[in-house]
Amino acid sequence: MDIHALETWYKKNKRDLPFRKTHDPYRIWISEIMLQQTQVDTVIPYYESFIKRFPHVSDLAKADQEQVLKMIEGLGYYRRFRYMKKTAEIIMSDHNGHFPKTYKDLLELPGIGTYTASAIMSIAYNEPYAATDGNVIRVFSREEGIEGDMRKAKNKRKIQSVNQSLIEQAEPTIYTQAMMEIGALICTPKNPACETCPLNGTCFAYQHDAQMDLPDLSKRKPQKQTHYMTLIVEDEDHLFLRKQDEAMLGGLYLCPQYEATDIETVIQQLRQKDIFLKDPRFLGKEKHVFSHRIWHMLVYKTRLTGEKPDDWTRVNKKKLKDVPMPVAHQKIMTLFKANR
DNA sequence: AAGACGGGGTT
DNA sequence: AACCCAGTCTT
């Protein structure tokens, strides 16, 4: 590959992104966590407001976990932000507030894996650690004509090896960003812009017209579908919500919902536990598609007579705007507001 | 090595 | 509707 052509192309064509205005390892780290499995255009407004609210790692370490989740509500993969908060605390307690400077130390932090550690090493510190992400896999599998299912670790290691040998001949901070930028702007999954690609002179896929066959990515399994009865339980000025445990949507608040296909079943089940729903009224249905699941929700508005379950939280309606909720249940709240 | 984990953009 | 994305962690 022509590294010089790549770097020249990058300097001329790179986007003006907020996290490219700095080499501060804290800011590079925040951007890299946010960018995991998430499009650049989605991240930008979150990154801007997050850095404004938490300009230094100490601000994040001191912050309230719930407020952090509220700041990144809607980005998905919420576990990464609980790891992020934990890592900020570790940097304050174990590293004297200084961001770790070695690959090994970075890798020990929660939520920082081989990709993110390498991205920080190369982008923030200009050290030759190859960061191999989805863009890099696509560019190299095409440019070098590397076959094999790229969802498998064995085949990713081939890409990692090529990537590492190249960054050692390059300016790391430029090289890492240039590889990802060309994957985002030129070497796209569909309809790559090969005619304007600075690498087309040495590209295997271009010369064999194999752009659409590379990279080889195996099919994903279909999502598991689940049916819920979703309850909007209110009293005069409060709503009852349930905080998710670690498994899925961890730390976010949802309306109580029960896996069932009719409301009568739920009413009966709750009655067994001395919880009585008063006059449930059907508001509508919502479907929410996750990458690995599909939720079908029938939404009922109701009130409570007697006690509430221990794991429900009574939230003042005026405080709802401070409570982090997943998009799936932001839809439920919209339905609620439309029916007041 | 395989599965869990969100949500939005693109085609 | 299918596919993809600046991945990491657990089992």
Q: What is the secondary structure of A317-331 as a DSSP string? A: GGGGGGS---HHHHH
What mean pLDDT is predicted for residues A159-165? Answer: 96
Cis peptide before A324 (omega within 30 of 0): no
Rounded to a whole number of angstroms, the distance between the first and last alpha carbons of chain A is: 62
- How many Å from the CA of A307 to C1' of B11? 51
> DSSP label at A125?
T
| A317 Cβ within 7 A of any nucleic strand B atom | no
Give the 3-state secondary structure of residue A176.
helix
What mean pLDDT is predicted for residues A77-104? Answer: 97
What mean pLDDT is predicted for residues A17-40? Answer: 96
Q: What is the mean pLDDT of chain A?
A: 95
Q: Which residues pair with A297 in a beta bridge?
A: A228, A286
Confidence of residue A306 (pLDDT cuts 50, 70, 90): confident
In angstroms, the CA A27 to CA A22 distance is 7
Query: Closest residue to B5 by CA to C1' distance?
Result: A77
The A 2-61 residues near strand B by Cβ under 7 Å are: 37-39, 41-42
The per-residue pLDDT for A204 is 96
Secondary-structure breakdown of chain A: helix, strand, coil percentages, each rounded to the nearest 5: 50, 15, 35
Confidence of residue A168 (pLDDT cuts 50, 70, 90): very high
Q: What is the CA radius of gyration of chain A?
A: 24
Longest dimension (CA), chain A: 74
> DSSP label at A120?
I
Q: Is A147 a catalytic residue?
A: no
Is there a contact between A187 and A196 (Cβ–Cβ < 8 Å)?
Answer: no
Question: Which of A147, A148, A159, A140 lies closest to A199, judged by CA?
Answer: A140
Q: Taking the C-alpha atoms of A300, A305, A310 and A314 in order, what is their torsion angle to the nearest 10 degrees?
A: 70
- In this structure, chain A runs to a length of 340
The per-residue pLDDT for A307 is 85
- How many Å from the CA of A12 to C1' of B4? 40
| A177 Cβ within 7 A of any nucleic strand C atom | yes
What mean pLDDT is predicted for residues A150-162? Answer: 93
Residue reference for tokens 């790179």: A14
Nucleotide nearest to A17 (CA to C1'): C6
The per-residue pLDDT for A220 is 83
What mean pLDDT is predicted for residues A159-178? Answer: 97
pTM of the complete model: 0.96
The A 111-150 residues near strand B by Cβ under 7 Å are: none
DSSP-derived pairing of the beta strands A276-289 and A293-305? antiparallel
Least confident of A198-202, A217-221, A314-318: A217-221
Is the pLDDT score of A180 beyond 90? yes
The one catalytic residue among A7, A32, A246, A286: A32
| A85 Cβ within 7 A of any nucleic strand C atom | no
| A74 Cβ within 7 A of any nucleic strand B atom | yes
DSSP-derived pairing of the beta strands A293-305 and A224-234? parallel
Nucleotide nearest to A131 (CA to C1'): C6
HEC profile for A195-254?
Answer: HHCCCHHHCHHHHHCCHHHCCECCCCCCCEEEEEEEEEEECCCEEEEEECCCCCCCCCEE
Question: Which of A225, A333, A337 lies closest to A288, judged by CA?
Answer: A225
| A134 Cβ within 7 A of any nucleic strand C atom | yes
- How many Å from the CA of A189 to C1' of B10? 10
The A 182-211 residues near strand C by Cβ under 7 Å are: 183-184, 189
Query: Closest residue to B10 by CA to C1' distance?
Result: A190
Nucleotides on strand B with an atom closer than 7 A to protein CB?
Answer: 1-11
Is the pLDDT score of A317 beyond 90? yes
Paired tokens of A201: 């002179």
Residue reference for tokens 């609210």: A53
- How many Å from the CA of A115 to C1' of C11? 21
| A290 Cβ within 7 A of any nucleic strand B atom | yes
Nucleotides on strand C with an atom closer than 7 A to protein CB?
Answer: 3-9
